[in-house]
Amino acid sequence: MDIQTKCIHGDGAAYDTTGAVSVPIYQSATFAHPGVGRSTGFDYTRVQNPTREHLEKTVAGLENGVDAMAFASGMAAIGTLLELFSPGDRIVASDDLYGGTHRYFYGISVKNGLSFDLVNTSNLDEIRAALTPETKAVFVETPTNPMMQVSDIAAIAGICREKGLLLIVDNTFLTPYFQRPIDLGADIIVHSGTKYLGGHNDTLAGFLVAGGKEVAERLRYIYKTVGPCLAPFDSWLILRGIKTLAIRMEKQQETALLIAQWLTKQKKIKAVHYVGLPSHPHYEISKRQASGFGAMISFEAADAPTAVRLLERVRLIRYAESLGGVESLITYPLLQTHADVPEEQRLKIGITDRLLRLSVGLESAGDLISDLSAALGE
């Protein structure tokens, strides 16, 4: 079945006899047993709920995984993921990570005995050099947030198989519509479902998708024990969002390319980071492992005052955190998404007071360009 059809119909299961086209919201904390030792398949919503099960099967199907777990946020998903590891374990991770992930690694997991080796995961030699006998996994964002670096998933999967490591890929930016890391050898996929999967900036969600049965069972045990599950109503909202994922991703990407091309011609813009530009250093890798480039752009203003002026002058584009929704949002990573990343690390990867991150929405490309042009004073 084509992925566009999968987005609309999910796993195809029906949970009632009414003929409802929209999956019902089972707003129930618990479920009655038909008899001793018997179950309807649902006992307690922390463990499973019919609305959430439909969502999880839908996301697992889109990613070609064996199972998916829906969480109350992307960070709840990452927190659960890290419970797979024990004190003394090391994880090699992209040095250009979402600031919240970096904060969780160093603010929570380090005190619990985990260690992290941050490298440029676009460079296979750096990954190999960082591996130790204590390394248990490689954690990759691709494209990275916010510098839009791309890692070769299949090549890294080969290294991980050779060393017996888990490969974890954050697929938030491209979604399964454009990129399916399990098909390329990844073991676990992470999503902030708040972003493109939901698509409307109206709810929080996160996902872990397992590529194999063993890791799925381990994650399920942690999931039901820790209890960070997504509520039934929010599960329904994400299901509603996924129905339009395909058409949104195509349109947002189309507009993003036009804006990225326009930005490259502006005197007050020093650099544009968009994987869909042929000038991007990882353009060919992107074409090989993904069917699209997404709608995230980072760009560097000529100086800090220009960056701040643009943020304060945009009107149609909203100066706000988050991404992936129908509304275009612009973010200042230095003060927002990456504020908790140490300055030395920020500067090393290029997060300066000139850098801005733009999530392109569904507005007219002409209107968005006019808004940016007016804000730049062009």
Active site residues: 46, 98, 170, 195
Q: How many CB atoms lie within 10 A of CB 246?
A: 19
DSSP one-letter string for 299-326: EEESSHHHHHHHHHH-SSSEE-S--SSS
* Cα–Cα nearest to 333, from 301, 375, 371, 294: 301
- Tokens standing for residue 272: 């544009």
Cα separation, 171 vs 274, in Å, equals 16
Angle at which helix 74-81 crosses helix 213-226, to 10 degrees, equals 110
- Tokens standing for residue 148: 């839009």
DSSP one-letter string for 98-142: -HHHHHHIIIIIGGGT-EEEEE-TT-HHHHHHH--TTEEEEEEES
Cα separation, 155 vs 140, in Å, equals 12
Cα separation, 197 vs 235, in Å, equals 11
DSSP classification of residue 75: H
Cα separation, 252 vs 361, in Å, equals 6
> Which H or E element spans position 169?
strand 166-170
Q: How far is CA 370 from CA 294, 323, 328, 364, in A?
A: 21, 20, 13, 10
Q: How many CB atoms lie within 10 A of CB 79?
A: 18
Cα separation, 366 vs 41, in Å, equals 51
